[in-house]
Amino acid sequence: MKTLNLMIALLAPAMAYSAKVVAPKNSNNSKHLSTVYHRIPPKTYDKSLFFSLKLQNGEQVGNIFSRAIAYWGDGFKDNVARVSGTAVYTVIDNDPEKPIFSSTYNYDGLGKGGGKVQITDGGSKTNKPGSKESRVYSDGSGIMYNVLILGNPPQKIYKGQSWGADISIPWELGGPGKQTIKVLQIDSENHTITIEREGTSEGFFSSDKRELDIQKGDSTVHVKLSPGTSHWRGYTIIKDGLIVSDELMVIRPVEMTNGEQKFNSTQREYFLLNQMPVFDK
């Protein structure tokens, strides 16, 4: 029994428990000593420490990203598409609730562009500064935290905590569905938090193709796509409301048809996004 109590006492800090040796009342016999364990509440932090923007006017934030979409199955050649690029955001208005950026982007082999953009509603909407018209921001990731995709965090945050996100519309890597977000690591000194997100959905993604050309032997076959249930999982690192690192992979079955022809396939899609230094090209 003493050995067991010693082992538990040694493990207690990792288990967030405290131990105290006590003796029954009116007893002077050491054989009657016992150990009482008390659960230590997790340390909590206000969500603003991690999710509120703390930008400076004129500050620049760089992103580098890539995305891949792949289909494979019996009877046809793997079909893969890839895209990559960079983006730079210069802060024009550092209002944490509705910041304005001047952005430039460069999609490798596809072109360059840019313009001014205001981000509102917890990162879930964008518009041109001064315009009353906005669009829902349904990308899988971006420069800042997006409550549409990642949910609204509880006011108090602690390691091991979870919250849910009901995604009501198709988005970049999923259809309407449900997602769970879990806090994996907290670095309060640097205002940084690491989360895991996992979810499922039905139906087409916002950027999905409904039809596709696949290669079967020497022939090209034009097929219609019918997706099954999607399952995704990934890690995201956030610092002061900005996305520092983000990766997400989604997998789902897809039925391909052309008249009487049918192909059972699997689709795998993922993106990678990281902050990068801003430098002259």
Q: pTM for the full model? A: 0.85
Q: Does residue 5 sit in helix, strand or coil?
A: helix
Residue 31 reports pLDDT greater than 70: no
Q: State residue 75's pLDDT score.
A: 86
Q: State residue 49's pLDDT score.
A: 97
Residues 35 and 71 in one domain: no
Residue 258 counted as domain residue: yes
Residues 24 and 53 in one domain: no
* Residue that wins the pLDDT comparison between 77 and 32: 77
Q: State residue 41's pLDDT score.
A: 79
- Residue pair 238/51 in contact (Cβ under 8 Å)? The answer is yes
- pLDDT class for 18, splitting at 50, 70, 90? low
Q: Does residue 209 sit in helix, strand or coil?
A: coil
Residue 6 reports pLDDT greater than 70: no
Residues 152 and 33 in one domain: no
Residues 150 and 35 in one domain: no
Residues 158 and 185 in one domain: yes
Instruction: Give the containing element (helix H, strand E) for 142.
Output: none
Q: Which of 160, 144, 147 is nearest to 44 (CA)?
A: 160
Residue 136 counted as domain residue: no
Residue 108 counted as domain residue: no
Residues 23 and 72 in one domain: no
Residue 12 reports pLDDT greater than 60: no
Q: How many domains does the chain have?
A: 2
Q: State residue 10's pLDDT score.
A: 42
Q: State residue 8's pLDDT score.
A: 42
Residues 51 and 172 in one domain: yes
Residue 156 counted as domain residue: yes
Domain of residue 10 covers 2-39
Q: Which residues pair with 273 in a beta bridge?
A: 65, 246
Residue 93 counted as domain residue: no
Residue 114 counted as domain residue: no
Residue 19 reports pLDDT greater than 60: no
Which tens digit of pLDDT belongs to each residue from 195-209? 999 999 999 999 999
Residue 204 counted as domain residue: yes
Residue 182 reports pLDDT greater than 80: yes
Which tens digit of pLDDT belongs to each residue from 59-74? 999 999 999 999 999 8
Measure the CA–CA gap between 69 and 83, rounded to whole angstroms. Answer: 9
Residues 258 and 226 in one domain: yes
Which tens digit of pLDDT belongs to each residue from 98-152? 999 999 999 999 999 999 999 999 999 999 998 889 999 999 999 999 999 999 9
- pLDDT class for 15, splitting at 50, 70, 90? very low
Residues 242 and 260 in one domain: yes
Maximum separation of any 2 CA atoms in the chain, in Å? 91
Residues 235 and 272 in one domain: yes
Residues 79 and 205 in one domain: yes
Residue 101 counted as domain residue: no
Mean per-residue pLDDT for 8-34? 54
Residues 163 and 214 in one domain: yes
